[in-house]
């Protein structure tokens, strides 16, 4: 069995808060631990509209990327990028073939999404026209900042989970059970496919590509109470096994974030975070006061990791953790209903937007308040009661994936906080069906 992330960010978020909300992936959804009783009405499945999307969003200029290797025993560098295409970026709602992708333009503001014809359904819900989930054929799309979509590949059933987008922007990492699959986005073909040994009665968690270029794969195996992080080549060879126990912060509990140059890995642990090198050498051990399990989510600033840490009450909050060893700083206060746990955050302009856990296993966007608590944000074009996962940011906007709470994917969209508008780029209102998983263009800084 594999627990793979729904979204980078959703990739790392799949491992967040081991003691409280272990997984939120479509292949292995775990129940969210609730700290308040919620009514059944809050879990009802809405009917999703097909309203056409509002004005389109735009992207940002491509940023520079690091050039150092992501692992000490990585395979040869990937082939050079395709030659520049003369094809212009498609307009909102337009669809084109893989040959129409303007590769020199692919960068921040682009999305990679796995879409299926099934409409999003809640647990146990039957929707006319939907095929059984394990029989659904899906389509991998690249979506430009204007909302034009490019069909990269048709993926046969059963659906696998989109885990990561390589740092060079040209490959996608999928997981199906303990099988790792790599798709070349320039050709739509499967480049690599291998299986990770699965322990008896255990789990395999495909975490991510290595940074900066995606020359190897990081995966976690769980056997009983022991979790072990390992690095595999793209042909399936085991390259490195990392420590599972740390003298100061305790056992590895899942969740990893690599440094932008790929030379260090920040690992989640029982009492904080641990920094290790590619060779497995242990560096700094970063204690978070009162933590009973921490997951590194992303880089918050240079040398500072944003971590979601549970406490004795089981309610996670966010911490800024410098890898230098300086004392961590709480970003969010102890959550107060309707916020039952803070999972991740992104800054847009002067505001911080938090991905928060709500009732009935829902996830929603909230704005950080001056006192450290959060306030829910109403997202246009998302049905009331649906979950909203934050994928990333570009050009002053949040990229989101909407899903039925505890259920199937609905849409991918951009939310402009300053204008309070949304632009749906995939899903109902554009091409129907549902967005099973989506990622923003890889940002080495998190």
What band does 177 get if pLDDT is binned at 50, 70 and 90?
confident
Whether pLDDT at 392 is above 60:
yes
User: What region does 437 belong to: left with phi over 0, alpha with psi -120 to 50, or beta?
Assistant: beta
What's the whole-number mean pLDDT along residues 230-256?
A: 97
Other CB atoms within a 10 A radius of the CB of residue 164 amount to 30
What is the average per-residue pLDDT within 152-178?
Answer: 94
**The pLDDT of residue 262 is above 70:** yes
Residue 348 confidence (pLDDT): 97
Out of 73-77, 242-246, 353-357, least confident range: 73-77
Rounded-to-integer distance, Cα 421 and Cα 405, Å: 22
pLDDT at 16: 36
Annotated domain spans of the chain: 9-75+88-276+379-440
Q: Token pair of 40, please?
A: 């059944």
Taking alpha carbons only, the member of 140, 164, 168 closest to residue 152 is 140
Please state the pTM of the whole predicted model.
Answer: 0.82
Highest mean predicted confidence (pLDDT) among 42-46, 231-235, 405-409: 231-235
- Give the rounded percent of residues in the chain with a pLDDT score beyond 70: 80
Q: Across residues 155-179, what is the average pLDDT? A: 94
CA distance 77 to 168: 10
398 vs 394: CA distance, rounded Å: 7
pLDDT of 318 strictly over 70: yes
Mean pLDDT along residues 250-265: 96
Q: Per-residue pLDDT averaged across 335-361, rounded?
A: 95
pLDDT at 86: 53
Bridge partners (DSSP) of residue 115 are 139, 435
Q: Is the pLDDT of residue 20 over 70?
A: no
Average pLDDT of the residues of the chain: 84
Cβ neighbours, 10 Å, residue 36: 8
Question: In the sheet that 434-440 helps form, which strands lie side by side, from edge to edge?
Answer: 95-97, 149-155, 138-143, 111-116, 434-440
pLDDT at 36: 35
pLDDT digits (tens, 9 = 90+) for 21-31: 333 333 333 33
∠ CA 76-64-147, nearest 5°, is 100
* Alpha-carbon separation of residue 16 from 9, 10, 32 (angstroms): 11, 10, 11
Q: Is residue 34 scored above 60 in pLDDT? A: no
């Amino acid at each position: 069995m594999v627990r793979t992330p729904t979204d980078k960010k959703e990739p790392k978020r799949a491992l967040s808060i081991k003691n409280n909300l272990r997984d939120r992936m479509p292949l292995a959804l775990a129940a969210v631990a609730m700290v308040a009783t919620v009514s059944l009405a809050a879990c009802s499945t809405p009917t999703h509209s097909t309203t056409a999307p509002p004005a389109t969003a735009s992207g940002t200029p491509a940023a520079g990327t690091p050039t150092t290797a992501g692992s000490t025993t990585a395979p040869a560098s990937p082939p050079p990028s395709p030659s520049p295409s003369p094809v212009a970026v498609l307009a909102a709602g337009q669809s084109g073939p893989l040959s129409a992708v303007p590769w020199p333009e692919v960068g921040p503001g682009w999305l990679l999404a796995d879409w299926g014809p099934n409409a999003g359904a809640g647990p146990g819900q039957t929707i006319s026209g939907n095929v059984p989930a394990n029989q659904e054929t899906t389509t991998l799309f690249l979506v430009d900042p204007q909302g034009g979509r490019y069909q990269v590949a048709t993926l046969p059933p059963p659906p696998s989970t989109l885990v990561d987008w390589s740092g060079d922007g040209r490959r996608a990492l999928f997981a199906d059970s303990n099988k790792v699959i790599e798709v070349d986005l320039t050709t739509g073909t499967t480049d690599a496919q291998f299986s990770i040994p699965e322990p008896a009665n255990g789990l395999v968690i495909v975490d991510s590509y290595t940074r900066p270029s995606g020359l190897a794969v990081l995966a976690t195996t769980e056997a009983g109470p022991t979790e072990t992080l390992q690095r595999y080549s793209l042909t399936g060879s085991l390259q490195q096994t990392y420590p599972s126990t740390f003298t100061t912060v305790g056992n590895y509990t899942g969740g990893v974030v690599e440094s932008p140059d790929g030379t260090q890995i920040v690992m989640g642990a029982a009492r904080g975070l641990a920094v290790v090198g590619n060779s497995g050498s242990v560096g700094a051990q970063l204690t978070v006061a009162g933590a009973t399990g921490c997951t590194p989510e992303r880089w918050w600033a240079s040398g500072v990791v944003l971590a979601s840490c549970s406490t004795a009450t089981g309610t996670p909050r966010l911490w800024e953790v410098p890898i230098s060893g300086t004392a961590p700083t709480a970003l969010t206060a102890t959550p107060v209903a309707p916020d039952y746990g803070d999972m991740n955050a992104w800054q847009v302009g002067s505001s911080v937007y938090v991905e928060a856990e709500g009732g009935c296993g829902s996830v929603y966007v909230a704005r950080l308040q001056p006192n450290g608590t959060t306030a829910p944000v109403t997202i246009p074009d998302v049905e009331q009661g649906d979950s909203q996962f934050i994928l990333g940011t570009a050009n002053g906007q949040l990229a989101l994936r909407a899903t039925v709470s505890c259920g199937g994917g609905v849409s991918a969209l951009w939310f402009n906080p300053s204008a309070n508008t949304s632009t749906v780029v995939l899903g109902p209102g554009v091409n129907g069906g549902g967005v099973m998983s989506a990622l923003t263009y890889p940002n080495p800084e998190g």
